[in-house]
Structure 1
Amino acid sequence: MRARNLAVVLQAVHRDGPLTRAGLAELTGLTKTTVSSLVGALLEAGAVSESGAVRDGERGRPGVAVALSGHRVAALGLEVNIDYLAACVVDLTRSVRLRRTRPADNRGSDPAEVLQRLRDLVKEVTAEAEGAGLRIIGAALAVPGTVEGDLLRNAPHLGWRDVRVADLLDLPCAVDNEANLAALGELWFGSGAADFLYVSGEIGVGAGLVVDGTVFRGTYGLAGELGHVVVTPDGPACRCGGRGCLEVYAGQDALLGELDSVATLVTALAEGDRRALDACGRAGDALGVALTSAVHLLDPGRIVLGGIFAPLFPWLESSVRGALAARLRQMRGTPPALAVSANGADAAVLGAAGLIIQRIVADPADVLGL
C-alpha cells in the first residue's frame, strides 16, 4: 500500500505540481498525515524538493510547494547507431544535464568492441554526473534493430544478430528499437501530442506509432519498419532482399551519394546543387508514397519527421506533402498534419533517458529503493 501511495503522490507532483502537502492530500484523497510521511520519504530520496510558496485555492493560506527535484536523481540514455555512439543524462524534471556523442563506424562491427567503447563513454558521463551531485538510477539503450525483451534480434546495418546487449554492456539496461525510443523522445521532449506517427531517418528508415501516449510495438516488436515498405516494385535491390523499398530512396546513403555528411548535404542544398536537390526530391516523393500506405493503414492525425529528415525538412516538405495530397485526396480529403521534430538526432537518446524517468515516476518505491 505504501509503495502504491508513493507512486500516487509522485505522479500527482509530476502531472500537476508544484503542490502543497495539503493540495496533494486533497488531490489524491490521502490523509494529510500520510501525505507528509510520503513527501518526507521522497524528499530524502531526492525525488522532490520543497521551496517557495503556493496558495491552496482562493481562500487557503500560502504553503510550501512540493515539486520534482532536478538536483539528485537522474537517468542515463544511450544509443548505438551506425555512425556514432551517444549518451545523455536527464534529471527528474526532464532537463538534459549532459549530452555526449562520439563519431564511429559501426557497420559490420563486433558487438563486444562497440559496447566496450560505449562502456567507456558511460564511465565518463557517469563520473561527470556524479561530480554534479546526480545519482543515475537506471539506463536505457536505443539500437537500430528489432528487439524482443532484452534480446537484440537483428540489426542489419550493424551486422548484429541475437545479441544480449545488456550482458555485453555489463550494466543493468533496458534495450529498445531506436525509432520507438525516438517516438517517445518526441512525446516527452517534443510537442507533447499523445497520438502521432514518428518517422526516423537514419541509415535506415524506421517509424514509431504513438497511440494515447504509448508506443505500439506489434506482436514481435517489428511494428514501424517503414523503410521496407515497397515504393517501386521493380526498383533497386534493397539489403532486405526486396526491391524498391523506401530505404533505397530515402535512407541516408541514398541521400548523401558521394557527400560525406548530412551537414555537407544541407550546405549543397542551400547552394542550389542540382544533384542534391534531385536526391531530396526523389526521397520526398518516395517518403510520401510510403506514408500514404501508413495513413491508409493507421490513420494518424499527425506525422513527425525526425532524424536526418529534420535538417532536410525544408527541401523534403513540398514533395512529401504533394505525394500525400495526390494520393489521399479521394479517400480523406485532408492529409494528416506534417511536422518536423525539434529533437533531431537526439530524439532516441532522449527517449531512452525518458523511459527511465517514467519508471521512476510510476514506481518510486521499487526504483529508488524506498
Structure 2
Amino acid sequence: MTRPVHRVAPATDTPVRQESLRAHNLDLTFRQIVGSRAPISRSELSVATGLTRPTISRIVDELLAGGLIVEAGPARSGNSGRPRVGLSLAPTGPAGLGLDIRVDALTACVVDLTGAVRHLDFTPRFEAPDETLRSLAAMAKAAIDAAAAQGLTVVGATLAAPGPIDENGVVRFAPALGWRDVDAGAALRSRIGAAGLPVVVGNDASLAALGELYASAPELRNFVCVSGEFDIGAGIVLDGTPLRGSRGWSGELGHVMVDSGGPRCACGANGCLQCVAGLREILAAVPVPSPAASPAVAIDELVSAGSPEILTALDRAGTALGTALSALINIIDVDTVLLGGSFSLLASWLTEGIERELNSRVLTAGWAPVEVRPAPLGPDAAVIGAALSAVDRIRRDPNSWLARH
C-alpha cells in the first residue's frame, strides 16, 4: 500500500515594508559599530554592510541624534591624506543598573553603553529577604541618581541572585540565603519606584559569565565560568552566547554529585559538589576559623598562616571541582575554565587539583587541554554582568531606544 505524501505548502512571501527595512539596516549598521575595537568611519560601514553611502549617512545621523554614538575620530586608516572621522559608542545616553547579593555585602553598579563602569557601591548585607530587598532598592535609587548626574539614563535593572529563578523574578530556592519562593522582582519594582523601568532577576553565575564575556579577549568564546560566592554555579558560554536553559535554570554545578557517600546537602541530595568545594565547607575543615567577614578572605588568611587543614581542604575542593567540570566539559566541549567570584581569589590553590582531574577525565585533554585561569572581573563579575544585561538589550535592539527619543 502506498502511503500518501503530505506536502507542506510553501510559505507565502510577504513584502518588506519600508519601516522594517529601515530598522533592519539600522540594526546592521549599529552592530558594526558595537563590534568594532576602534572608531569606524562611514566609508568602512558602507563596505562592511553593503549599504550605500547616502543610506549610511542617514543612519549615522539618526544614531548620533539618538545619543547612541559619537564622532570620535579619526578612524583607523592605512592611507595617507585627510583622516576620516570615526564613530564609536556614546559614553552618555542609555545605561544599565546591576544589583548583586554577596556573602558580606550588597552591591550596585551602573555601566554605560560602552561597557564602562560608571558607578559602583557597596553596603553591608542583611539576612532577612525583606531587609535585603529594601536596602537594594535604596541602592538602586542612589545609583539611578548618580547615573543621571553623569548624563546617563538607566534603561533597566537586573538583580543577580543565587539559585533557580523563574521568568517572573521569583527566587525559587537559594539555600545559602535561606530564601524560598521570594518574589524579588516584584519587591524591587515596587520599591525602586521608577515608572516603566524594567526590573528583572537573573542567576548570578549566568550573569557573571556575561560580564566575563564582555571583559575578555574576543577569541574567548567558549568557556565555563565557575563562581563560588554562595552556591557553586557555572555560567556557560558557547560560540559567544551565554546559555540559559529552557527555563533559565541551567548552571547549578554545585548540585552535581561527586561523592555518592558524601554528606547531605541543603538541597536534599547527598554528596553534592557544594558539600566539598563550597567556601563555608572549606572553612569548616579548620578547627578555629579566621574571624574575617568574607570566607574567601578567611581562607586566604589561613593559608598565609600555614594551616595544613585549609591546604588539605583546598586540594580536596579543587579535585571535586575538577571532577564535576570534567563531566560538564565532556558534554559541552569548551576550551577554558574561568574561576570567578570568590574562586578567583583562591585560584592559586584550586587550579592544580582542577587541572589534574581535567587532564585525566576529559576525553580530548591529550590533544586539546582545557585552560584554567582566574576570571578577569572576579567578585565583581555578577554585578557588572547584571548591569550589562540591560545595556545588551539596547545593543541588540537600538530601535527600541530611538523610538523613545
Q: Same fold (TM over 0.5)?
A: yes
- The alignment status of 1:181 with 2:207, answered yes or no, reads yes
Q: Cα distance, 1:341 vs. partner?
A: 0.4
Give, as a single letter, the amino acid of the residue that structure 2 aligns with 1:315: W
Q: Report the RMSD for the aligned CA atoms in angstroms.
A: 2.1
Instruction: Check the 8 A contact 1:166/1:172 in 2, yes or no.
Output: no
Larger mean Cα displacement after TM superposition, 120-129 or 213-222: 213-222
Give, as a single letter, the amino acid of the residue that structure 1 aligns with 2:307: D
Instruction: Check the 8 A contact 1:196/1:211 in 2, yes or no.
Output: yes
Query: Structure 1 stretches of 5 or more lacking a match?
Result: none
Q: Percent identity?
A: 40
Q: Distance in 2 between matches of 1:323 and 1:30?
A: 51
Partner SS, residue 210 of structure 2: helix
Q: Cα distance, 1:310 vs. partner?
A: 0.6
Give, as a single letter, the amino acid of the residue that structure 1 aligns with 2:359: A
1:58 corresponds, among 63, 68, 79, to 79
Q: Cα distance, 1:208 vs. partner?
A: 1.4
Superposed CA deviations along residues 12-69 of structure 1, whole A, max 9, x for unmatched, are 1111251222322232222322322222222222211113323666377422211111
Aligned to 2:167: 149
TM-score where L is the length of structure 2: 0.84
Q: Cα distance, 1:228 vs. partner?
A: 0.9
Aligned to 2:366: 333
Larger mean Cα displacement after TM superposition, 126-135 or 49-58: 49-58
Q: Distance in 2 between matches of 1:25 and 1:331?
A: 43
Superposed CA deviations along residues 146-203 of structure 1, whole A, max 9, x for unmatched, are 1232332332323333344332112522321111111111111134411111111122
Superposed CA deviations along residues 236-262 of structure 1, whole A, max 9, x for unmatched, are 111111111110111121122333322
Structure with the larger strand share: 1
1:320 corresponds, among 350, 354, 372, to 354
Q: How does 1:30-109 map to 2 (within 5 A)?
A: 30-54=51-75, 58=79, 61-106=82-127, 109=128
Q: Cα distance, 1:353 vs. partner?
A: 1.6
Superposed CA deviations along residues 128-158 of structure 1, whole A, max 9, x for unmatched, are 2222222222222211121232332332323
Q: Distance in 1 between matches of 2:134 and 2:82?
A: 56
Partner SS, residue 62 of structure 1: coil
1:120 corresponds, among 130, 138, 142, to 138
Give, as a single letter, the amino acid of the residue that structure 1 aligns with 2:97: L
Aligned to 2:187: 168
Aligned to 1:21: 42
Aligned to 2:232: 205
Instruction: Check the 8 A contact 2:39/2:72 in 1, yes or no.
Output: no
Instruction: Check the 8 A contact 1:196/1:209 in 2, yes or no.
Output: yes
Give, as a single letter, the amino acid of the residue that structure 2 aligns with 1:356: A
Partner SS, residue 349 of structure 2: helix
Q: Cα distance, 1:298 vs. partner?
A: 2.3
Instruction: Check the 8 A contact 1:3/1:363 in 2, yes or no.
Output: no
- The alignment status of 1:239 with 2:266, answered yes or no, reads yes
Aligned to 1:279: 313
Q: Distance in 1 between matches of 2:152 and 2:326?
A: 45
Instruction: Check the 8 A contact 2:318/2:353 in 1, yes or no.
Output: yes
Larger mean Cα displacement after TM superposition, 318-327 or 337-346: 318-327
Query: Structure 2 stretches of 5 or more lacking a match?
Result: 1-20, 190-196
Superposed CA deviations along residues 70-123 of structure 1, whole A, max 9, x for unmatched, are 1333221221345422111111111111111222143xx33x332211110011
Q: Cα distance, 1:332 vs. partner?
A: 4.3
TM-score where L is the length of structure 1: 0.91
